[in-house]
């Protein structure tokens, strides 16, 4: 999983847990709705650090929570299963 996919997955999960919609998050963070949508899809080539910072503040999580692969999310389970098969 690359970084854009990790950020997208983490953002989707955190937004779902906190019942946040794209429009309200974009307005609160002061970034475009298109940017939030692209980030959620994990289909971006680069991201500005201040956008990550604004999103993390609005979602009340750390930037590390957005950029670190979580083992209990879908992608983390998939990766953990692959590594378990190698043993």
Q: Which of 59, 46, 43 is nearest to 9 (CA)?
A: 43
Q: Where are the alpha helices (DSSP H) in 1-87?
A: 3-17, 22-29, 33-41, 49-59, 63-67, 74-85
Question: Domain boundaries in the chain?
Answer: 3-81
Residue 32 in contact with residue 26, Cβ under 8 Å?
Answer: yes
The predicted structure's pLDDT at residue 70? 79
pLDDT of residue 1: 80
CATH class of the 3-81 domain in this structure: mainly alpha
Q: What gap in Å lies between CA 26 and CA 78, rounded to an integer?
A: 30
pLDDT tens string 2-36: 899 999 999 999 999 999 999 999 999 999 999 99
> What's the pLDDT score for residue 39?
93
Instruction: Write the pLDDT tens digit of every residue in 33-85.
Output: 999 999 999 988 888 899 999 999 999 999 999 999 875 555 544 444 444 44
């Amino acid at each position: 999983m690359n970084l854009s996919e990790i950020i997208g997955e983490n953002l989707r999960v955190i937004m779902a847990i906190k019942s946040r919609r794209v429009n309200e998050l974009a307005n609160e963070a002061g970034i475009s709705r298109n940017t939030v949508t692209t980030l959620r899809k994990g289909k971006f080539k680069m991201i500005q650090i201040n956008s990550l910072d604004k999103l993390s503040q609005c979602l009340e999580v750390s930037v590390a929570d957005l950029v670190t692969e979580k083992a209990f999310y879908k992608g983390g389970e998939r990766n953990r299963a692959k590594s378990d098969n190698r043993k």
